[in-house]
């Protein structure tokens, strides 16, 4: 029997889909460039959504600037989500930088260095 998804997980998936579209089409902040919404984790009471983002082709400082721009636009994005989603309340949005891709690239480089040292 398949495992059921909790309501917070379903809302998180829906938020991720809608936020990706909103950031791409509606956010005009120049700090927010090529931003990818990697994951959304919604609290059990659906009051807060932690949105993990990654900035493609940007260094750490530019990525942090993009997160700052998104946090500045969080109220606007929450209002837009309220118009698009069919939920009683829209969670407060907290944007955070997702270090997973950077860490994966660093580990891959370490593995490549270790393998090239063998030859």
What band does 97 get if pLDDT is binned at 50, 70 and 90?
very high
52 in a domain, yes or no?
Answer: yes
Give the pLDDT score at 2: 56
102 in a domain, yes or no?
Answer: yes
The percent of residues in the chain predicted with pLDDT above 90, rounded, is 53
43 in a domain, yes or no?
Answer: yes
- Domains identified in the chain, total number: 1
Residue 111 burial by CB count (10 A; 0-12/13-18/19+): exposed, middle or buried? Answer: exposed
Q: What is the CATH number of the domain that holds 30?
A: 3.30.300.20
- Phi then psi for residue 77, to 5 deg, are -65, -40
What band does 80 get if pLDDT is binned at 50, 70 and 90?
very high
Q: pTM of the prediction?
A: 0.83
58 in a domain, yes or no?
Answer: yes
Q: Check pLDDT > 70 for residue 26.
A: yes
The percent of residues in the chain predicted with pLDDT above 70, rounded, is 96
Q: What is the mean pLDDT of residues 76-84?
A: 94
What band does 14 get if pLDDT is binned at 50, 70 and 90?
very high
112 in a domain, yes or no?
Answer: yes
Residue carrying the six token digits 């984790």: 41
1 in a domain, yes or no?
Answer: no
Average pLDDT value for the chain: 88
- Phi then psi for residue 29, to 5 deg, are -65, 125
User: Whole domain around residue 71: which residue ranges?
Assistant: 7-118
2 in a domain, yes or no?
Answer: no
Give the pLDDT score at 38: 93
74 in a domain, yes or no?
Answer: yes
């Amino acid at each position: 029997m398949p495992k059921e998804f909790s309501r917070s997980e379903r809302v998180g998936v829906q938020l991720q889909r809608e936020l990706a579209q909103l950031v791409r089409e509606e956010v005009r902040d120049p700090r927010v460039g090529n931003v990818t919404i990697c994951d959304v984790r919604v609290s059990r009471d659906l009051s807060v959504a932690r949105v993990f983002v990654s900035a493609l082709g940007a260094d750490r400082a530019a990525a942090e600037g993009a997160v700052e721009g998104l946090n500045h636009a969080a109220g606007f994005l929450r209002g837009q989500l309220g118009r698009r989603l069919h939920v009683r309340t829209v969670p407060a949005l907290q944007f955070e930088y997702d270090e997973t891709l950077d860490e994966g690239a660093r580990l891959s480089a370490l593995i490549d260095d270790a393998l090239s040292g063998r030859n």
